[in-house]
Amino acid sequence: MSDSSPATNKPTTVIVGGGQAGSEAASALRQAGFEGRVILIGEEPYPPYRRPPLSKAFLSGDAAAETLLIKPLSAYEKAGIEYIGGMRVVNVERELKRVELQDGRELDYDFLILATGGSARKLSFPGADKSNVHSLRTADDSIAIRGEFVEGRKLVVIGGGYIGLEVAAHAIKNKVAVTVLEAAPRVLARVTAPDMSSFYEKVHREAGADVRTGVVVQAFDTEGDKVTAVVLDDGSRVEADLVVVGVGISPAVSLALDAGLEVSNGIVTDGNCRTDDPSIFAIGDCANSLNGFLETRVRIESVPNAMEQGRIAAAAIVGKTPAPQLPPWFWSDQYDLKLQMVGLSQGYDHVVLRGNPDTRSFMAFYLREGQLIAIDSVNRAPEFMAGKKLVAERCKPDPAVLADESVPLKSLLEAAG
């Protein structure tokens, strides 16, 4: 049975995915003047909520569940946004411009936005599905992990990226014994320079974590429904009461694949987030998009990017020109440290440090052929704001000036202007 729009000439936009990308797209459509029907479909039983706190304040118990919500359901109703929660979209019929829901309902669309996000990558060997092996992607995941933070227990974190290190920090605060296992030669290897990796390894070790790099997990020892130890490729064993796997996400592209859309490390889109079907858009973690600032195709896993793409897709649907894209940015909270990052550092040829890592307040500037392409900032929020603008302006600052703390970063902006 097809649920069509009321008998008007106004178009319908269906948004598949109730995360921050989907929620932002729905709101942005209304803000851009879209007067047709907007239907937002979320697979989880909760209204759209913020994911970053799941490995931060919510995991620590410092934030209540209500604070996760992006906005109350009444706000969607007030904006004329129809929200369908706890519902999976099982099929996209492009020829009919129709989506099928798991309960058999069918919804016609004029525009379709895929904001399907991604799923945490799983380990493939036996035992990965045991009850004390967790990933961290949803509110339920965070609640389950937090419930196992019991003093004296042994936690093994597989993966030394943002999520793994944030989980480790919160576990240590709860007096859980933590071992971090990272296959790469250093933690955060994919996103930071060696100086930053060394700093965070030192911080975690000083806090009591056993951080091991260049190690490969081979198997799990199990007993009943539990993993009891993680086995490494050299045959050594690390005892575990709890295992958290943080080895990245896989973009959720099955709907797009089944619909015949182009997929390559995500759903391929142009600079307006439009797929090879002009009626279908893809945004957020599931999208491999032509980025207007980076001038290349990239799939970016970050909340600011997801929200920006929601606004871009909305603008394209109503025929408006979106605001110029800004450099992507990210953040991570570990212990008393706020790591803020802007730009993508891949391909850098020079790193400049500003400040001393021993003070737990410093910055790393990444340059390529003299141009500032990215910044990592630890506990320097005011300077980070100026740094974001320097990256956005594609500045070519003097490295010696970047390193000189007596020279305000704002002055570099004034000089560039």
Give the residue-averaged pLDDT of 299-317.
96
Handedness of CA 269, 263, 254, 284 (dihedral sign): negative
Element (H, E) at 100: strand 98-101
Tell me, what's the pLDDT at 1? 47
Report the candidate in 181, 154, 157 with the shortest Cα–Cα distance to residue 168: 157
The interaxial angle of helices 162-173 and 194-207, nearest 10 deg, is 20
Q: Is residue 105, in this structure, part of any structural domain at all?
A: yes
What whole-number distance in Å separates Cα of residue 48 and Cα of residue 71? 8
Q: Is residue 78, in this structure, part of any structural domain at all?
A: yes
Q: What percentage of residues in the chain have a pLDDT greater than 90?
A: 92
Is 297 in the same domain as 369?
A: no
Task: Give pLDDT tens digits for 64-97.
Answer: 888 999 999 999 999 999 999 999 999 999 999 9
Is 25 in the same domain as 173?
A: no
Handedness of CA 300, 305, 309, 315 (dihedral sign): negative
Is 79 in the same domain as 144?
A: no
**289, 271 contact by CB (below 8 A):** yes
Q: Is residue 326, in this structure, part of any structural domain at all?
A: no
- Domain boundary residue, one of 223, 247, 271: 247
Report the candidate in 379, 290, 385 with the shortest Cα–Cα distance to residue 332: 379
The phi, psi pair for 296, rounded to 5°, reads -155, 165
Per DSSP, the three-state class of 75 is helix
Q: Is residue 34, in this structure, part of any structural domain at all?
A: yes
CATH code of the domain in which 103 resides: 3.50.50.60
Written as six digits, the tokens of 21 are 């990308």
Task: Give pLDDT tens digits for 240-287.
Answer: 999 999 999 999 999 999 999 999 999 999 999 999 999 999 999 999
Other residues' Cβ atoms within 10 Å of the Cβ of residue 152: 8
pLDDT at 38 over 90: yes
Predicted confidence band of residue 110 (pLDDT cuts 50, 70, 90): very high
Is 353 in the same domain as 396?
A: yes
CATH code of the domain in which 353 resides: 3.30.390.30
Q: Is residue 323, in this structure, part of any structural domain at all?
A: no
Q: Model-level pTM greater than 0.85?
A: yes
Written as six digits, the tokens of 229 are 């130890």
Is 159 in the same domain as 112?
A: no
Is 141 in the same domain as 227?
A: yes
Q: Is residue 324, in this structure, part of any structural domain at all?
A: no
Tell me, what's the pLDDT at 412? 87
- Domain boundary residue, one of 194, 224, 247: 247
What whole-number distance in Å separates Cα of residue 160 and Cα of residue 47? 30
**272, 312 contact by CB (below 8 A):** yes
Structural domain including 376 reads 336-416
Written as six digits, the tokens of 42 are 């979320």
Tell me, what's the pLDDT at 44? 95
Tell me, what's the pLDDT at 9? 80
**222, 127 contact by CB (below 8 A):** yes
pLDDT at 145 over 70: yes
**329, 346 contact by CB (below 8 A):** no
Tell me, what's the pLDDT at 273? 98
Predicted confidence band of residue 178 (pLDDT cuts 50, 70, 90): very high
Task: Give pLDDT tens digits for 358-374.
Answer: 999 999 999 999 999 99
Q: Is residue 124, in this structure, part of any structural domain at all?
A: no
- Domain boundary residue, one of 189, 224, 247: 247
Tell me, what's the pLDDT at 415? 67
Give the residue-averaged pLDDT of 315-340.
94
Is 107 in the same domain as 95?
A: yes
Is 233 in the same domain as 254?
A: no
Tell me, what's the pLDDT at 417? 55
Chain mean pLDDT for the chain: 94
pLDDT at 294 over 80: yes
Q: Is residue 145, in this structure, part of any structural domain at all?
A: yes
For the chain, how many structural domains are there in total?
3
Is 254 in the same domain as 198?
A: no
Is 264 in the same domain as 372?
A: no
Is 144 in the same domain as 243?
A: yes
Is 306 in the same domain as 221?
A: no
Q: What is the DSSP letter of 30?
A: H
